[in-house]
């Protein structure tokens, strides 16, 4: 009886693990250290596929990726939470990325000014691929397309939140669950 249950449990665990996709490990320095084109203080991608590996690092770092835009009021409102989180996770294996979905035309002016004026601690990446339907599901199939939205992941463990955080503590608790 005991053996049978153990087998069932093992089988179930295997199923749960096997259901997850296992993307290849990529060297993260490739994106992090890529020089920003032109004179912008961040990298700009007009093609999601060039950025896709950022969503699939397979290591022991927790990645907190926030989708935002300068035109999105609730996004800008919750941005201090992410900046505070950076301080909080210092020395820990965690990385915060503010992934801007600003329009291509706003990247050199509005977005660049925003990032410079706020002196953001978090790494900023701009993604201007407007063929949204080709990549939204690759971030998370449950994503309806609204921002703010935040993906937190470590290895195969993923959590996607399609709403504004009500407080820093709410964000902090979610990230802590990954430690």
β-strands 123-127, 62-68: how paired?
unpaired
The answer to whether residues 55 and 138 touch, using CB atoms and an 8 Å cutoff, is: yes
The answer to whether residues 159 and 174 touch, using CB atoms and an 8 Å cutoff, is: yes
CB of 149 to another protein, least distance (A): 8
Region 119-158 residues binding another protein, contact defined as CB under 8 A: 130-133, 136-137, 141-148
CB atoms inside a 10 Å sphere around CB 124: 22
Spatial neighbors of 89 by CB under 8 A, at least 6 apart, are 62, 96, 175
Which CB, 13 or 25, lies closer to another protein? 13
CB of 82 to another protein, least distance (A): 17
Cα distance between residue 38 and residue 89, in whole Å: 31
CB hemisphere CA count around 144 (13 angstroms): 6
Which CB, 59 or 167, lies closer to another protein? 167
Q: Which stretch binds another protein (CB under 8 A): 25-33, 44-52, 67-75, 83-91?
A: 67-75
End-to-end CA distance of the chain: 35
CB of 143 to another protein, least distance (A): 7
Site string for another protein, 6-45 (x = CB under 8 A): x-xx--xx-xx-----------------------------
CB atoms inside a 10 Å sphere around CB 163: 13
Site string for another protein, 78-107 (x = CB under 8 A): -----------------------x-xxx--
Residues near another protein (CB under 8 A) are 1-2, 5-6, 8-9, 12-13, 15-16, 71-72, 74, 101, 103-105, 130-133, 136-137, 141-148, 162-164, 166
């Amino acid at each position: 009886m005991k053996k049978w249950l153990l087998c069932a449990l093992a089988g179930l665990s295997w199923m749960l693990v096997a259901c997850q996709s296992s993307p290849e490990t990529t060297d993260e320095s490739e994106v992090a250290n890529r020089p920003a084109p032109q004179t912008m203080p961040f990298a700009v991608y007009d093609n999601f596929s060039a950025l896709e590996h950022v969503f699939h690092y397979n290591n022991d770092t927790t990645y907190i990726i926030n989708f935002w835009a300068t035109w999105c009021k609730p996004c800008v409102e919750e941005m201090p939470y992410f900046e505070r989180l950076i301080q909080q996770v210092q020395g820990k294996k965690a990385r915060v990325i503010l992934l801007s979905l600003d329009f291509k035309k706003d990247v050199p002016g509005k977005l660049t000014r925003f990032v410079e004026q706020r002196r953001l601690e978090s790494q900023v990446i701009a993604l201007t691929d407007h063929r949204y339907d080709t990549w939204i599901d690759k971030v998370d199939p449950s994503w309806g397309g609204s921002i703010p939205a935040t993906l937190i992941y470590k290895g195969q463990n993923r959590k996607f939140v399609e709403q504004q955080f009500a407080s820093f503590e709410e964000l902090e608790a979610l990230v802590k669950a990954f430690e």
